[in-house]
Amino acid sequence: MKHFAIFGLVLFVLFSYVWSNHVGKKRIFSTATGAELCPKPADVAFIIDSSSSIWFKYFKIQLEFVNKLIKTFKISPTDTQVAALTFSKNVVKQFNFKDFNNEEDVLKKVSTIKQDNGDQTNTHKALEKALSDLFAPGNGVRENVPRICILLTDGDSTYQTATLAAAQAVKDAGIKIITVGIGHKVNTNELEAIASSPAKENFFKVEKFEDLETMGYDKLVGKQACPKPQTTTTTTTTPEPTTTTTATTTQMQQEEPDKTCQGKEADIVFIVDSSSSIWNVDFETQKTFIGDVVSHFDVESGKTRVALIAFSNEAVVKIHLNQYSTRKELISEIAKVTQPGGSTNTHLALELMLKEVFSTKNGARPGAAHIAVVITDGVSSRPDQTLQQIELVHKSGVYVFTVGVGNKTDKSELEAMASKPVSDFSFLVNGYPALPKIRDLLAFKTCKVPSDHPTCSSDFMGDIMFGIHGIGGDSMDHVIEFIKNVGGAFRNSKNIRLGLKESCRNADLPLADYSGDSDFATDVQERMVESAADLLSGIRTSFGTDRPDVNRVSVLILSGKIDDMDMAYLEAMRLKYSTRVIVVGVGKSIDRDQLMRLASYEDKAKPDVSHVFPVDSSAELSDIVKNLHVLICRDTQ
């Protein structure tokens, strides 16, 4: 963090504090003593990383920083009390709030804390311990003062999902969390999600441990930890009656969001239950929740696009991905969504999402992560069709989060709809008022979805051959772009090779005398015939024999009816012996039965359409790029 940025933020925090506590008074703020820095009482717990990734001398710097923070408070049983624990693989409670009642004793104790040097960073255990022990009745915590946790760490937590759940439990208990990440290995997204909202005020990143000593972070963090009024008050400097403006959480987030998703390319669709089982007040809560989640996303830069589908008897697209380009517009439009009532036809919403929302004409991007967030309070009206549709959704490469609200949801259905692992993609809350509890967690999880497909494992090895047959005219431009999008995603993999073959016409005719029995028209017709069989044979031989153990995938892009189908089928059978064959049919004149005969099956003994992708026109090829990525990355044939 740059010196000017820190200086500006310090000034802002100091000004906010002085202004809110001394309305209308012109006063110079002194930082001569701890009492003047933070005169308000609080119970402040320090959660200190002591894992083996921190060198001994840096651990000492960390303790010195904690002592500097302690000096910004007035320590006494009636003012600020301090507690501390350290964590790595295990959690060690260092002292409770009631153990020390003066600054000198607390500083001495902190200076003697030993580093545990564990080989894990179990942040979740530390947060759980803070809640269940440090802030437990009987250990000195007080009822009527603010409660604050200051977490210091130099890296990722070992168990992120458990960490975010533990952090949410701490925040739900009314405890404010301030996070300090030290060094280049910290997970900024995770620490922002752990921190209390707004994260831009409660998360601090330090480039290196030495900066804790020199750049004034103790005063900056100390000021943020110092209790202050919950609302922002602005007052005129004239003696006339003042005007006060209180900004709600939602308003603040609309204006300046937490930077949880900055840099992430994602197309995110909220699928919202608007059936009759939801009370009007709960439907409004649901919309507010969606708006709060959206406030985390990097919409203005164009990195993240948001759409919304409401479903009951019917499914309706309320917002398309390319419709709004600012958070303010999106949140305003979300607030306008009405509740028609009716049944819970979840399957219609999923079908509409694939057909309409995740299409390039409506703003979907082949290179962005495609994400769906399904929020519902009950069982779908047609569970069989819902499961059929969700299978297509998963095969299309869409990541699905499910949020079940209340006790009438079908947990097994929600988990079947969610992407894997279920623990990361499925959430249950007791009722709509509890939705805000998972807001930050859901936003964080959504932002963690990888934006770059394909999703092949790191050890995936493959040879991929593209084959083109019957494509001409303007369609060729779309086909070329399609091949570039599918194959280009593998360009950084050293384990994957790419190739291309076309059933080129051998149309060369030498100058000849056609004045006799020779028929020029017949010769031209014969030379212009394309052979699908020859194409398939050429693809098979192109794989060669130097990498017999890698995954082999052939992507055939075909248009029109295949004239030499019998021979092509025989060649396809030979090709499928060692290669998975994906067939893309372009145009309305394709023969789908022919496509199925050429393509591979999930079960080799039972024909299916798992490897067949028909599109009505070449312009729609970009809509199936992710489908192919997912299919190609399957490790088994």
Tell me: do 203 and 156 sit in the same domain.
yes
Per-chain mean pLDDT for the chain: 81
Q: What is the pLDDT of residue 283?
A: 92
pLDDT higher at 509 or 276: 276
Tell me: do 432 and 466 sit in the same domain.
no
Q: Is the pLDDT of residue 380 over 60?
A: yes
Q: Is the pLDDT of residue 493 over 60?
A: yes
Q: What is the pLDDT of residue 610?
A: 86
Q: What is the pLDDT of residue 220?
A: 66
Q: How many CB atoms lie within 10 A of CB 48?
A: 26
pLDDT higher at 263 or 206: 206
pLDDT range class, residue 255, cuts 50, 70, 90 = very low
Q: Is the pLDDT of residue 615 over 60?
A: yes
Q: What is the mean pLDDT of residues 248-267?
A: 49
pTM for this entry: 0.53
Tell me: do 134 and 275 sit in the same domain.
no
Tell me: do 197 and 338 sit in the same domain.
no
Tell me: do 115 and 211 sit in the same domain.
yes
Tell me: do 405 and 274 sit in the same domain.
yes
Q: What is the mean pLDDT of residues 511-534?
A: 64
Q: Is the pLDDT of residue 366 over 80?
A: no
Poorest-pLDDT segment among 38-42, 306-310, 563-567? 38-42
Poorest-pLDDT segment among 307-311, 509-513, 570-574? 509-513
Give strand pairing partners of 582.
555
pLDDT range class, residue 409, cuts 50, 70, 90 = confident
CATH number of the domain residue 360 falls in: 3.40.50.410
Tell me: do 219 and 147 sit in the same domain.
yes
**Residues spanned by the domain of 440:** 258-448
Tokens of 437: 């509890």
Q: What is the mean pLDDT of residues 281-306?
A: 88
Q: Is the pLDDT of residue 186 over 70?
A: yes
Residue 46 is inside which H or E element, if any? strand 42-49
Q: What is the mean pLDDT of residues 473-501?
A: 80
With beta carbons less than 8 A apart as the criterion, state whether 48 and 86 touch.
yes
Q: What is the mean pLDDT of residues 170-182?
A: 92
Q: Is the pLDDT of residue 93 over 70?
A: yes
Q: Is the pLDDT of residue 130 over 50?
A: yes
Strand-strand pairing, 203-206 and 315-319: unpaired
- Smallest CA-to-CA distance from 287 within 224, 337, 360 is with 337
Tell me: do 186 and 267 sit in the same domain.
no
Last residue of a domain, one of 448, 474, 509: 448
Tell me: do 540 and 495 sit in the same domain.
yes
CA distances from 110 to 47, 60, 93, 214, 260 (A): 12, 10, 12, 20, 33
Tell me: do 369 and 479 sit in the same domain.
no
pLDDT higher at 528 or 53: 53
- Smallest CA-to-CA distance from 370 within 348, 400, 343, 390 is with 400
With beta carbons less than 8 A apart as the criterion, state whether 536 and 573 touch.
no
Tell me: do 399 and 430 sit in the same domain.
yes
Indicate the number of domains in the chain: 3
Poorest-pLDDT segment among 183-187, 351-355, 597-601? 183-187
